[in-house]
Amino acid sequence: METKKLSFTIEELHQLAWKESISRLAKRLDFNEAVIRNKCKELGIPTPHSAYWSKLKFGKSVEITALPKSVDPKQVVVLEDKPKKKQRSTKTGEQSNSTNNTCGEGKKVATHLPEANKKQREHPLVVQTRNEFKRQSRIARDNWEELQKSIPHLSIYVSKEHRERALSIFDMIIKGLNARGYAVRADEQGHTAVVIIDVEIPIHIREKRKRVPNKDPQRTWPKYDYKHTGILVFVSELCSWRRKEYYDKPYVKLEEKVDVIVERIIAEGLEEHRVKIESAIRRKQEAEQKQLEKERRLRVNAELEKFKDLFRLQKRWHQAETIRAFLDTYEEVFSASNDFSDEQQNWLAWARKKADWYDPFIEDDDELMKGIDRDKLEPLPVKDGWY
C-alpha cells in the first residue's frame, strides 16, 4: 500500500480547519486525522475549540483566530499518511480469509473483527462494567455483603439483552471524549461523570419503559406494570434543571448521535468552567471590595476617635485656662479689698491644684481624685474580678 499524500497551502489548511472539524475533514478526505492535527500544531495553525462548533451549529456568533504573522500563508504543506506495517498473523486459513474480506470493505473493518479483538480495544471501564454485571448475576439478591463488593463500573440501567449495546455506546462516547482530552470517572456505586477541567457532569444510560395495565386477576396491586421497550436513552445531568436526554429514534439510533453527544457535553462543561471562573473572579473582587470597605471604616473610626481625643484635650485645656483666669481675678479682687482671709487663700490654692490636675498638659496627681475620669468627671467603672 502506497503512502497517501495531500498538499495544501497553509492558508488553505487554515480555512479547511475552521470550515469543518478536523475529524470530519479527515473522514471526507479519507485521511489520517492525527496527521492533520499534528501538522497544524507543528506549523502553528490555530484550530477551533470544540465550543466553536456548538456555537456555530446553534447560530451563535463565532470568531475565527487568524494565522500568526510569523506564518507564511502561501507556504505549501505536504501531508503524508504512511501505511501501518502489517502484523504477523497466526490465524488459520479460514480466519485469514475472513480478515482479507473485511479489509476490502475499508471503514467497516472494525465491525467484522473477531469478538476477542473487539474486547481488547474496549475502554477499561467498559470491561470492568461487563465483569461487574457477570459478578452480580452470580450473587444471590439477599447476599447484601457480597453485592457491596463491587468494582468501579458505568451507570447503566437497561434490561439484560441490551447491556452489550449500552456498553458499546458508552465505549464510543468515552473514546470520543478521550480523543479530545477529557476523561470519564466511575466509582464502585456506579456513579459516572465526565470530567471537563474542573467540572463533573454525571451521565448514565437507561432503557425507556412503558406503563401497561396489570391484567393478572390474581394480582390486584399494583395496577400497572412497567415493560422494557428496547429504546435506550443517554442522559447527562449537570444539575437537576440542566438535564439533557438523547433517545433512540426510529430513524436515528444513539450510536449515530455519539459525535453530537460528545460535542454538547464538552461545550456544556467548558461553559460551566467559564461560569465558575467568572464567579470565582467576581467573588474575589467582592471580597476585596468588602475588605477595602472594612479597612476604610476602621480608618474612619480611628480618625474620628483621634479627633474626639483632640476635642476632649482642647476642651479640658480651655476649661483649665478659664478656671485659672477666674482664680486670678478672684485673687485680684479680694486682695484689693484687704479682706482676703486665710480660708479664701487656702481655697484658692486648692482650686489651682485642681486646675493643674484637670489640665491635659500637666495632669498633676491628686490623692483624692484618683479613680476619677478627667473627661467625664465621673468615677471610673470598677471591674469585677476574682480575689
pLDDT digits (tens, 9 = 90+) for 240-256: 888 999 999 988 899 99
Mean pLDDT, range 116-134, rounded to an integer: 79
Q: What is the mean pLDDT of residues 273-290?
A: 94
Residue 340 — pLDDT band, cuts 50, 70, 90? Answer: confident
Per-residue model confidence (pLDDT) at position 146: 66
Cα distance between residue 163 and residue 132, in whole Å: 12
Q: How far apart are CA 176 and CA 265, in angstroms?
A: 11
Number of H helices, E strands in the chain: 12, 10
Q: Find out whether 107 and 32 touch, Cβ atoms under 8 Å.
A: no
Which residue did the predictor score with more confidence, 371 or 60? 371
Integer Cα distance of 54 and 50 in angstroms: 7
Choose from 249-253, 290-294, 342-346, 375-379 the range with maximum mean pLDDT. 290-294
pLDDT of residue 72 exceeding 80, the answer is: yes
List of residues 6+ apart from 174 with CB closer than 8 A: 123, 125, 126, 184
Q: H or E stretch including 5? A: strand 4-9
Give the model's pLDDT for residue 84.
59
Percent of the chain with pLDDT over 70: 86
**32-41, 93-102, 197-206 — which is least confidently predicted?**
93-102
- Compute the mean pLDDT over every residue in the chain, rounded to the nearest whole number: 83
Confidence at residue 387, expressed as pLDDT on a 0 to 100 scale: 45
Give the dihedral sign, CA 109/111/113/119. Answer: positive
Q: Is the pLDDT of residue 106 over 60?
A: no
Q: What is the pLDDT of residues 226-236, one digit of tens each?
A: 888 899 999 99
Give the residue among 191, 184, 186 at the shortest CA–CA distance from 269.
184
Position 289 pLDDT exceeds 90:
yes
Q: How many CA atoms lie within 13 A of 194 on its CB side?
A: 31
Over residues 142-156, mean pLDDT: 77
Sign of the alpha-carbon torsion through 73, 75, 81, 82? negative
